[in-house]
Structure 1
């Protein structure tokens, strides 16, 4: 399938969700089926062609049954590997907005909330381009769609914490803000074995000093912000989303995008194509910073 065909297919799928956004925006508050393997049936050997085994000959003479073969050892199913845990990056600020400017890498970060089919379409498109993204998931969204946590990780992407209910966390009391952070962290731990690689505040581009402190207490050494806002949550149309990102992105950029918006689905192929053309590789935020 050509890039043009993929864009057309994604736009057609996006039409299913056009006309309404499925995720609350994070603007500052001040503002194959898998194929089943088919095995041919094994034809039993005919009596005339199958020679009796020594055990069978012995049992025929003695009249005793041959010894039973030992049952094959069963191996328990492998457990999924735990998701990466938060890392401290010495020399980096408490709130990170971008990575090193001298490397041809950028991070596409998605606020994880909205219609699951849109999330899967965006992840699949990123994977077709060899891109890896960071998903900051809302805890309530994971409660409704727990399988998406593993879908993100199985695609080679990164998963993080975007609060439990996606409210204006900077305006909350200390107790309520702490509950928003730890509530999502607990869900991530239960689903993946880790509290997630990053924390990003909800309804704000940056965390208040209180929220920054609470995030650190919960186990996140850094708060993840961004330096490029796609404004996709305003539903300006796919060309406008792509233009905004491509006009501002440069080496080291952290781009804010959202699951759940038709414009984002339609814009992503053009964004990824142009990033490839510029030699900018989309990697996880941990890889970008590290």
Structure 2
């Protein structure tokens, strides 16, 4: 009798997980999020949405900047954002925040959002859950000490994520934010201003999350690219919002 119960139990669990998956899929399909957002489901049947874009129904875009702040590039980017009345989200490295706290304060004072990007840009695929948690928490604490704010959005370095990363984000009530499929500018590779501009403006859609960097070792083309991108998209009628504002305009879970 006991031997028969075991396969029945396995079948029951399998059916349960399938039902959860269908419910998750229906929730996404009926939301204002596009089909390109997706769900990570772990072996326990819990799920977390990984965000790559927002509503397609409004002309809004979320500019995001990773790896800063940087003493040269971040102030120039902030000046340009102010000039074009654009808001953005800065996914900050904790070690950089400790070096340049005044820039972190300025980002908040000028209405931008802060996100967690770990303390030292670790590869989460190779790190233990304890290490991921340590890097995440050190960054949360560093930003809180500087600004009194704890970020609610988290972008794992390189856009890598796994069950360990998801768990750490969930423990802290943070959403995992990546970027839209056509909006990796690859500005970190210094491909030239024209390449960055063309990648962004020729593929822009409502609700896009655009990936840029305010810290790049060596020669950065991002600032000069923004001098073209910001006025061009603004003239097209786009409004630049933070990631959390973008999510507020969309149906969330």
TM-score, normalised on structure 2? 0.75
* Structure 2 residue corresponding to 1:159, chosen from 114, 133, 142: 114
1:110-143 Cα offsets, whole Å, 9 max, x none, are 0032631210000110110010000010000011
When the two structures are aligned, how many residues end up with a matched partner?
198
Gaps of 5+ in 1: 1-90
| Separation of aligned partners in 2, 1:206 and 1:167 | 10
- 1:226 corresponding residue in structure 2: 179
- Whether the 8 Å CA contact 1:106–1:280 is kept in 2: the answer is yes
1:243-270 Cα offsets, whole Å, 9 max, x none, are 1111222100000100034200110011
- 1:270 corresponding residue in structure 2: 228
- Whether the 8 Å CA contact 2:66–2:215 is kept in 1: the answer is no
Could you say which structure has the higher helix fraction? 2
Q: Report the CA distance between 1:107 and its aligned residue.
A: 0.2
TM-score, normalised on structure 1? 0.66
- Whether the 8 Å CA contact 2:68–2:90 is kept in 1: the answer is no
| Separation of aligned partners in 1, 2:160 and 2:58 | 24
| Separation of aligned partners in 2, 1:207 and 1:151 | 30
| Separation of aligned partners in 1, 2:86 and 2:69 | 21
- 1:104 corresponding residue in structure 2: 59
* Structure 2 residue corresponding to 1:283, chosen from 237, 241, 244: 241
- 1:139 corresponding residue in structure 2: 94
- Whether the 8 Å CA contact 1:158–1:197 is kept in 2: the answer is no
2:91 match: secondary structure: strand
1:52-82 Cα offsets, whole Å, 9 max, x none, are xxxxxxxxxxxxxxxxxxxxxxxxxxxxxxx
Matched, 1:205 2:141: no
RMSD of the alignment, in Å? Answer: 1.4
- Whether the 8 Å CA contact 1:170–1:177 is kept in 2: the answer is no
Q: Report the CA distance between 1:206 and its aligned residue.
A: 4.0
Matched, 1:173 2:128: yes
1:166 match: secondary structure: coil
Q: Report the CA distance between 1:215 and its aligned residue.
A: 1.2
Gaps of 5+ in 2: 1-30, 34-47, 249-253
157-166 vs 112-121, which deviates more?
Answer: 112-121
| Separation of aligned partners in 2, 1:157 and 1:207 | 25
| Separation of aligned partners in 2, 1:152 and 1:197 | 16
Q: 1:206 to 1:102 in 2, by over 3 A?
A: farther
* Structure 2 residue corresponding to 1:257, chosen from 212, 219, 223: 212
* Structure 2 residue corresponding to 1:130, chosen from 85, 95, 108: 85
- Whether the 8 Å CA contact 1:181–1:218 is kept in 2: the answer is no
